[in-house]
Structure 1
Amino acid sequence: MTTTAAYSDALSLAGTDLGVTDWLEITQDRVNLFADAVDDHQWIHVDPARAADGPFGGAIAHGFLSLSLATKFWTDLFDLEGVTTKVNYGLDKVRFVSPVKVGARVRMSAVIAEVTEVPGGYQFTVDQVFEIEGGSKPAVVARGLYRFYA
């Protein structure tokens, strides 16, 4: 469910737990498209037959593919009304904890850790955890930075 807040309430949102997104299946087609986009066709990603005998027991998503889902998941979880521009400003920290096998489902939880004023808007520092369905460890743990301008 999306949490929607007014721009005027931005500073009060620090500490807000936004919950979790719906699950999203990581398909081989998605992995192949990402491989084409970033020109990374390593066999552990794009050759399921060979990957079956590899270190992960099957093809896995690129770590950066998993991380790139932050954009979709963040907008699924949060919206700030009354802004003209929304910017993915960057990351403070990222760890790729566990590989995501093709066919697995992932989702993201997020907590707004900080909100600070920046010229013309606010910067949100968001702690994000990408969970693998049935997994004992997360796929990715990241601290994302997002800016909202009025």
Structure 2
Amino acid sequence: MHIFKNLDELVGATGAELGPTEWLEIDQERVNKFAEATEDHQWIHIDPERAANGPFGGTIAHGLLTLSLLPYFSHQLYRVEGISLAVNYGYNKVRFITPVKVGAKVRARAVVADVTRLDGAAQSTVTITVEIEGSDKPAAVAESIVRYIA
């Protein structure tokens, strides 16, 4: 984990590479709970028998489940100290490149793409890539925007 001691260190970090994180296994229980929470019960996610004969050879995680793990991974990648609050400001250019099969392990790495100093704050754009163990292509790539208040 990279620790930025204050906003000035974060502002100077453009181009810094972060990670990777630890691997996280995506199991069927997690996928089912995500389906319940989001009311997205598509069979490719929650029906292992039907999905075994489907296009992916088994159930896969929702793309939005993968995206929802970015805060979890970000907390492993870096921390900014000397602030009172960090707020998720949104995402740019989210792409789901490779399906995450249930049972696969994923992890993240990132690059600080941009940091803009604001009045009493800073806003960072961090490009996060979610990798799948044993895959040449990532599961997802997204630009995470976080606003840090001093």
TM-score tier, shorter chain, comes to over 0.9
Would you say how many aligned residue pairs link Structure 1 and Structure 2? 149
Aligned to 1:59: 59
TM-fit CA distance, 1:71: 0.6
Q: Quick one: which amino acid aligns to residue 147 of structure 2?
A: R
% same residue: 53
Task: Report the RMSD for the aligned CA atoms in angstroms.
Answer: 0.9
1:5-24 counterparts in 2 under 5 A?
5-7=4-6, 8-24=8-24
Partners of 2:90 and 2:18 in 1: CA distance: 19
1:12-60 Cα shifts (integer Å, max 9, x gaps): 1111111210000001000011001110011100011110000100000
Partners of 2:118 and 2:24 in 1: CA distance: 33
Q: Structure 1 unaligned runs (5+)?
A: none
SS state at 1:20 partner: coil
Q: Structure 2 unaligned runs (5+)?
A: none
Q: Quick one: which amino acid aligns to residue 86 of structure 1?
A: A
Partners of 1:120 and 1:40 in 2: CA distance: 40
Partners of 2:35 and 2:118 in 1: CA distance: 35
1:8-47 counterparts in 2 under 5 A?
8-47=8-47
1:101-120 counterparts in 2 under 5 A?
101-120=101-120
- TM-score where L is the length of structure 2: 0.96
Partners of 1:4 and 1:96 in 2: CA distance: 28
- TM-score where L is the length of structure 1: 0.96
